[in-house]
Amino acid sequence: MNRIDDISDEALLKEVGRRIAYLRISAKMKQGELAAKAGLSRYALSRLENGAGGIRLDSFLSVLRCLNVLNRLSIVLPEPSPTPLQVAELEKHAMKMPKRVRTVRARTVRTWGDEQSAK
């Protein structure tokens, strides 16, 4: 069994392309249909599925979205959690922030003609 770190980039591109093609076929979509839905040419999608590379990241994400698998990226790129040191810094900063107290000032209500009656 190969570790993914030991596989060449070329082999990884071919494997990603194979998996994209599998997902498309499983979704009963033709290349032209998925390409149009993702905003790509059929040629660009074909290159992706063949592992040729050179596809833009936004195009790749669009293909994943159209195949309803974009949410799986959270497995590969999980939401970073703060380190204990970062949590301590945030708590220290929160403790230093003084609470703001708003005061209500009395306002003088003036009506039309007040200037004339003051003379």
Interval 1-10 mean pLDDT: 80
Mind listing the pLDDT tens digit for each residue in 67-85? 999 999 889 888 888 888 8
Most confident range, picked from 9-18, 75-84, 86-95: 9-18
Mean pLDDT of the chain: 85
Q: What angle do CA 21, 25, 29 make, to 5 degrees?
A: 110
The C-alpha atoms of residue 25 and residue 52 are separated, in whole angstroms, by 19
In angstroms, what CA-CA distances link 64 with 43, 96, 110?
A: 17, 45, 64
* 87, 93 contact by CB (below 8 A): no
- Of 18-22, 25-29, 42-46, 95-99, least confident by mean pLDDT is 95-99
DSSP letter at 104 equals P
Interval 92-96 mean pLDDT: 70
> Per-residue pLDDT for 35 more than 70?
yes
Interval 15-21 mean pLDDT: 95
DSSP letter at 4 equals G
pLDDT the model gives residue 84: 84
The band of 117, judged by pLDDT with boundaries at 50, 70 and 90, is: low
